[in-house]
Structure 1
């Protein structure tokens, strides 16, 4: 292989990586922009949109499975969720961008249903933290299920950066949806198992 051929291959691979990173940035940016636009509108409306969150044990509350991750209980809640969503969401995409959509869908479903079944009937649950815990569960257990060096390394990095966050699955603070955290984490683990099985088959 000539030097020109090697340069052409490297250039092609670099361009492919740049396109992939650009695509990942657009996906994450689109999600975050949507969350912030809805959050600002909700602030202007005095939190009126939060009625579309998960209302446990009420049939109408099931709509929150779809809407709750895009709603927040105030500006502080929104800001607190933005950075971990971006970081962990991008980590989920690192090996394959499509993993993000699979993990997000499974986590929203499991976290939402778990919260609807086990949450207090007089509460409304909102926020992207269920997704964040789903990404955390997926990334921490991915290395165990896939048993390859990149996945194990990523699990270790995420464990180092966000491992202490796992205590959020316990009912330690009033007003925090630990049910959403717990079942979000479980949803992420389920996604890690399903995707690992698909890749190993």
Structure 2
């Protein structure tokens, strides 16, 4: 993979762009999370039956649930448990991949709902857990594919925080739609493979040592000497004049006793 061209330290313009990117991510995550809470409050105040917004597999009337099921929740505890993952994962997705998220988030939303409608059990499936699973897998797989610093750090953070979501794709409890979790996870993997290249790689920071001139290296220093130039141990030069050589005489061995 080609590295991004190095650039100097951040300028005022780049800092302003990064702040705008943060605001965009926070506002987008707030809008999605607020939509979940407004749908719950409206249903609670007006007495709506949220099951009518869910997905009923293989029923024509359940097709509308592909669009509305993530906004409906079975209970207040269900809504609260989905609020923080949706808010955090949406923020990270919009910040790291602002271009890819415009296509990845709708694809995860629609594809996970379609998978539930086609293959899930005969029941009413509601909740945004499938979207959360999809966003977590999207961030993790995209980080592995891109391998730039920001993407890898984000992938490790989301896997550390929400890697346990992978266990929810298995049928562990009767009243939990593992089909929605599984369809969301598959949708997230597909979205990551399709859209991880839509956002350019972040600029690589240039360090001061990269601007220092390289010192020329003579090729002779890297070459091994020829065999004829290597001195042989037993061919020693004559000692310099006036040098004294101390000779160590070998001590005779004691006589060996007969066996």
TM-score between both structures, scaled by the size of structure 1: 0.88
Provide the aligned C-alpha RMSD in A.
Answer: 2.0
Aligned to 1:160: 160
Q: Provide Cα deviations, 1:157-187, integer angstroms capped at 9, x if missing partner.
A: 2111111221011110111110000010000
Larger Rg computed on CA atoms: 2
- The separation in 2 between residues aligned to 1:198 and 1:13, in whole angstroms, is 20
Q: Provide Cα deviations, 1:11-47, integer angstroms capped at 9, x if missing partner.
A: 2222222222122222111111111111111223445
Aligned to 2:212: none
Aligned to 1:19: 20
Aligned to 1:101: 102
Gaps of 5+ in 1: 1-5
Deviation at residue 67 of structure 1 after TM alignment = 0.5
Aligned to 1:3: none
- The separation in 2 between residues aligned to 1:24 and 1:153, in whole angstroms, is 17
Aligned to 2:133: 133
- The separation in 1 between residues aligned to 2:66 and 2:42, in whole angstroms, is 20
Q: Provide Cα deviations, 1:117-175, integer angstroms capped at 9, x if missing partner.
A: 11122x11111111000001111211222233322222122111111221011110111
Asked whether the 8 Å contact 1:47–1:73 carries over to 2, the reply is no
Asked whether the 8 Å contact 1:169–1:179 carries over to 2, the reply is yes
Aligned to 1:65: 66
Aligned to 2:49: 48
Q: Provide Cα deviations, 1:53-78, integer angstroms capped at 9, x if missing partner.
A: 11001011111111111111121111
- The separation in 2 between residues aligned to 1:49 and 1:163, in whole angstroms, is 29
Aligned to 1:190: 190
Instruction: Give the match's secondary structure for 1:94.
Output: helix
Deviates more, 1:80-89 or 1:144-153: 144-153
**Does residue 83 in structure 1 map to residue 84 in structure 2?**
yes
Aligned length: 193
TM-score between both structures, scaled by the size of structure 2: 0.69
Asked whether the 8 Å contact 2:56–2:62 carries over to 1, the reply is yes
Q: Provide Cα deviations, 1:73-131, integer angstroms capped at 9, x if missing partner.
A: 1211111100000111111122232333322111112211111111122x111111110
